[in-house]
């Protein structure tokens, strides 16, 4: 806080006039006066505020506005919104006031930029909620994102004024979210500076070392670029091409990234030098053809590295980026990256989506951006209740590396690197994804988790009887696929629940009964469920049948462990005898019988389980098990009874052990491994997989079989519901002629 001095007033006026001089898109005096009014309001609102650096706070919105108009290239509405972006959060001015004086559009953008507090679940991430709210405005106006990126860029440029722990926090957010977002919107210059500044504060020693190394050979580098560029300039002039050629070093962060991910020293980073050729296209020849013609002229001068050609003029990146990249051997034995672009491509590369307004009728690059914006809007239409989960899924859509794959009819789809055929299926339509059973990639049959590569042609094999499964979430890399799978599972659960409710009500009606709390108090423990919804779902799934309903209701049930589950215990503290003091979600203290079995229930709706499976023995439903209470956490760890680690726990911490019992598991799947050995004969592998997949409907995660001297052996990782299903599977495989031995692998420590 502090009153502005005369010196402050002079500085503010200079900065504002300098910013105003860059307003090339003003439509006349009316726009100018509107900008001045916005500045005067912001200046008045922030007049007693100072930044951590001590400078007047108003200099921040002025700087953000300058970035918005000069470095991104937006217009008057964005400039005004940038000037006003902090006044609702930091002062007494309201959105209604802004709407009255500057219009609904400016108020909407400022609303999207205004941070929030105190209105969301205290357990959610406030930063994540802020970001989601900002994205909601994206549905109407993408300028919100541009101004937010400009705001973040100026904060990063002035981060020196903050303490070290805040520098690390803000720079961490920047590299995690804002730099990828700038990249995704095609704002290359902003993305590069955000990355470099983030590295400066997260790893200052590494940053300074790279800066020093670049500075040490700057003159030498400039000389190399001049020598390298001259033959190219000469041949382009001979061919009457209007062009500009510039040289620059790779960004500090890109050098750091390559050193880290390729484990190479500074000197061995390929294409440390980069030269950009920007030309003015001429005549009726397509821009793409002219780019390749220039590449041809360059490759006549310097030998290209064949595996380092990147053609983004034929297939632009998903953020609209178009250019032809090649790495060639320079005159001093140094690799040099050459980028070839038209003037239009260069402006789009530097200013990203903002430049598309100027070139919106020129080709496919805008449609790629539109597809991405559409996918974000789809996420926002049905956002996750968990803000952090939403943020993770949004992050999936900010991919750097992309692949281009083809439908059977030749349509190109852009997907993130490491996408599977299941991602491909959901990208086409959720109905195709939900009913997928396999795929043909380049005419060869592959499983749903097969990872695609650029150039693959993919055909999805579907079945009307197939439904999405929870383990599919491990198969996919895109937010769109994850969201669709979760929605499908939730819909399936809802349908099963409604069907089960209808079935039990009809059954009770036949007995002249109506549903009541007294009836459910008898039914829940008898059917080993903890809620009415779980009961309905299992009835609707066919897991629970109601043929014995009348007999169940006539029982005098006083189940000794029902209270344990009705109370939804959050912490269990053992006492000296066979009881424990338990705390409920309502902070009610109750005494329970620790001899009562701990029920492991199925949570197909995605709610958090009340236990964790020990990785040392990987028990599955049906195994004999024992529970071990974690003294510091509110869950139970489940071991096989014969697990060596469990035996050790019995001797050392018997007071923390409890009985445990599986309920019926028919929806969720668990990973189990079997070893198999037999006589290697023609067709036996096909017989084994047919038994597993078609007859028993078991999903295979991995097969590792090898053959030698007429004998085959190996392991298979399978998803099964319970031990009974696994035993049936083993029995069926042993019935195959030639299979000599099949057994479950008890130790699962080596499971991926």
Q: Which CATH number does the domain housing residue 727 bear?
A: 3.30.70.260
> What CATH number should be reported for the domain holding residue 443?
3.10.20.30
Looking at the structure, do residues 187 and 295 belong to the same domain, yes or no? no
pLDDT at position 710:
74
Supply the angle between the helices 126-138 and 387-396 in degrees, to the nearest 10: 60
Per the domain annotation, does 601 fall within a domain?
no
The DSSP secondary-structure symbol of 609 reads P
Domain residues for the domain of 513 are: 489-559
* Dist. CA 19–CA 412, nearest whole Å: 43
| pTM of the shown model | 0.59
Query: Is residue 648 in a domain?
Result: no
Helix (H, G, I), strand (E, B) or coil at 207: helix
Is there a domain that residue 554 lies in?
yes
The answer to whether 478 and 427 are in contact (CB under 8 A) is yes
Residues 6+ apart with CB under 8 A from 560: 593, 596
Contact 291, 340 (CB under 8 A): yes
| 8 A C-beta contact, residue 146 and residue 78 | yes
Q: What is the CATH number of the domain that holds 231?
A: 3.30.460.10
The answer to whether 89 and 98 are in contact (CB under 8 A) is no
- Is there a catalytic annotation at residue 623? no
Considering the domain architecture, whether residues 17 and 135 belong to the same structural domain is answered as yes
| Close Cβ partners of 304 (under 8 Å, ≥ 6 residues apart) | 326, 327, 328
Q: Which of 31, 55, 90, 311 is catalytic?
A: 90
Of 208, 224, 243, which residue is a domain's last?
208
Average pLDDT of adjacent 10-residue blocks, the chain of 752 residues: 79 90 80 91 88 89 92 87 89 89 89 57 52 56 83 93 87 84 81 93 91 83 87 93 87 85 72 84 88 93 88 81 89 85 86 58 50 62 54 58 81 84 92 89 87 88 80 86 86 86 87 82 78 83 80 61 37 45 44 55 57 80 78 71 70 65 70 87 83 74 80 86 85 86 73 41
Same domain, 469 and 338: no
Residues 221 and 358 in one domain: yes
Q: Is residue 587 part of a domain?
A: no
Same domain, yes or no: 344 and 422: no
Q: Would 327 be classed as within a structural domain?
A: yes
Q: How far apart are CA 692 and CA 603, in angstroms?
A: 25
Residues 371 and 451 in one domain: yes
Number of domains in the chain: 5
Residues 294, 311, single domain; the answer is yes
**Whether residue 107 is found in the same domain as residue 250:** no
CATH number of domain containing 162: 1.10.3210.10
Instruction: List, edge to edge, every strand of the sheet that includes 739-744.
Output: 699-708, 711-720, 670-679, 739-744
Residues 259, 327 within the same domain: yes
Active site residue 89: yes
Tell me if 423 is assigned to some domain.
yes
For residue 665, tell me if it sits in a domain: no
Are residues 496 and 481 both part of a single domain? no
Q: Which residues contact 172 (CB under 8 A, 6 or more apart)?
A: 198, 202
> Which DSSP letter does residue 607 get?
P
- Kindly name the residue from 18, 30, 89, 633 that is annotated as catalytic: 89
74 and 172 assigned to the same domain: yes
- What is d(CA 266, CA 260) in angstroms, rounded to the nearest whole number? 10
Count of other CB atoms within 10 angstroms of residue 463: 10
CA distance 198 to 168: 8
Q: Please choose, from the candidates 398, 392, 431, 440, the residue with its C-alpha nearest in 3D space to the C-alpha of residue 416.
A: 398
Tell me which of 179, 208, 237 is where a domain ends: 208
* pLDDT number for residue 478: 85
Question: Same domain, yes or no, for 371 and 466?
Answer: yes
Domain-terminating residue out of 559, 586, 601: 559
Q: Which residue reads 């030698």 in tokens? A: 708
286 assigned to some structural domain = yes
User: What is the reported pLDDT for 603?
Assistant: 60
Distances 423 to 262, 372, 436, 467, 539 between C-alpha atoms, Å = 28, 15, 11, 15, 32
- Closest by CA to 150, choosing from 106, 194, 215, 184, is 194
């Amino acid at each position: 806080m502090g009153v502005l001095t005369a010196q402050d007033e002079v500085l503010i006026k200079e900065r504002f006039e300098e910013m105003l001089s860059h307003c090339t898109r003003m439509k006349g005096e009316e726009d100018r006066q509107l900008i001045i009014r916005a500045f005067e309001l912001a200046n008045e609102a922030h007049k007693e505020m100072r930044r951590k650096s001590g400078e007047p706070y108003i200099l921040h919105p002025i700087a953000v506005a300058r970035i918005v108009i000069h470095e991104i290239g937006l217009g008057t509405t964005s400039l005004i919104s940038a000037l006003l972006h902090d006044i609702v959060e930091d002062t007494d001015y309201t959105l209604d006031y802004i709407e009255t004086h500057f219009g609904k559009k400016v108020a909407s953008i400022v609303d999207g930029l205004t941070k929030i507090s105190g209105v969301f679940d205290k357990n959610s991430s406030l930063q994540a909620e802020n970001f989601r709210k900002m994205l909601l405005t994206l549905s109407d106006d993408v300028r919100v994102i541009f101004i937010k990126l400009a705001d973040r860029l100026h904060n990063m440029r002035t981060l020196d004024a903050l303490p070290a722990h805040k520098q690390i926090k803000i720079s961490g957010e920047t590299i995690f979210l804002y730099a990828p977002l700038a990249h995704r919107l095609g704002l290359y210059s902003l993305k590069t500076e955000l990355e470099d500044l983030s590295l400066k504060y997260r790893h200052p020693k590494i940053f300074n070392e790279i800066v020093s190394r670049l500075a040490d050979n700057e003159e030498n580098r400039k000389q190399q670029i001049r020598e390298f560029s001259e033959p190219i300039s000469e041949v382009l002039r001979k061919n009457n091409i209007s062009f500009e050629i510039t040289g620059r070093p790779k960004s500090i962060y890109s050098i750091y990234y390559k050193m880290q991910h390729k484990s190479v020293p500074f000197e061995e980073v390929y294409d440390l030098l980069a030269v950009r050729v920007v030309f003015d296209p001429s005549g009726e020849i397509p821009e793409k053809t002219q780019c390749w013609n220039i590449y041809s002229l360059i490759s006549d001068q310097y030998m290209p590295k064949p595996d380092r050609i990147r053609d983004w003029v034929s297939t632009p990146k998903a953020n609209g980026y178009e250019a032809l990249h090649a790495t060639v051997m320079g005159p001093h034995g140094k690799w040099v990256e050459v980028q070839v672009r038209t003037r239009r491509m260069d402006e789009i590369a530097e200013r990203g989506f903002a430049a598309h307004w100027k070139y919106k009728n020129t080709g496919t690059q805008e449609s790629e951006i539109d597809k991405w914006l559409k996918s974000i809007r789809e996420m926002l239409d049905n956002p996750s209740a968990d803000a952090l989960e939403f943020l993770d899924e949004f992050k999936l859509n900010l991919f750097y590396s992309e692949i281009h794959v083809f439908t059977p009819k030749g349509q190109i789809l852009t997907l993130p690197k490491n996408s599977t055929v299941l991602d491909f299926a959901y990208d086409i339509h959720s109905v195709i994804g939900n009913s997928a059973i396999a795929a043909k990639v380049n005419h060869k049959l592959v499983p749903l988790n097969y990872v695609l590569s650029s150039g693959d042609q993919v055909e999805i094999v579907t079945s009307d009887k197939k439904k999405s499964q929870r383990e599919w979430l491990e198969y996919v890399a895109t937010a769109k696929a994850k969201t669709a799978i979760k929605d499908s599972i939730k819909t399936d659960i809802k349908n099963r629940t409604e069907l089960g409710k209808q079935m039990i009500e009809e059954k009770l009606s036949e007995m002249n009964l109506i549903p009541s709390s007294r009836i459910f108090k008898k039914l829940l423990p008898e059917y080993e469920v903890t809620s009415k919804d779980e009961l309905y779902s299992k009835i609707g799934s066919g897991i629970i049948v109601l043929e014995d309903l009348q007999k169940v209701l006539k029982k005098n049930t006083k189940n000794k462990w029902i209270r344990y589950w009705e109370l939804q215990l959050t912490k269990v503290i053992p006492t000296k005898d066979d009881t424990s003091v338990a705390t409920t979600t309502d902070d009610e203290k109750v005494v329970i019988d620790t001899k009562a079995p701990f029920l492991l229930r199925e949570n197909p709706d995605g709610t958090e389980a009340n236990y964790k499976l020990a990785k040392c023995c990987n028990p599955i439903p049906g195994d004999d098990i024992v529970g071990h209470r974690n003294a510091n956490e509110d869950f139970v760890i489940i071991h096989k009874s014969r697990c060596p680690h469990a035996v050790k726990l019995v001797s050392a911490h018997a007071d923390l052990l409890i009985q445990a019992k599986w309920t019926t598991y028919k929806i969720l799947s668990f990973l189990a491994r079997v070893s198999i050995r037999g006589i290697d004969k023609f067709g036996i592998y096909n017989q084994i997989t047919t038994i597993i997949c078609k007859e028993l409907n078991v999903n295979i995660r991995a097969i590792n079989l090898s053959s030698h001297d007429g004998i085959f052996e190996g392991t298979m990782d399978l998803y099964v519901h319970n031990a009974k299903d696994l035993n049936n599977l083993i029995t069926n495989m042993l019935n195959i002629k030639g299979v000599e031995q099949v057994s479950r692998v008890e130790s699962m420590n080596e499971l991926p």
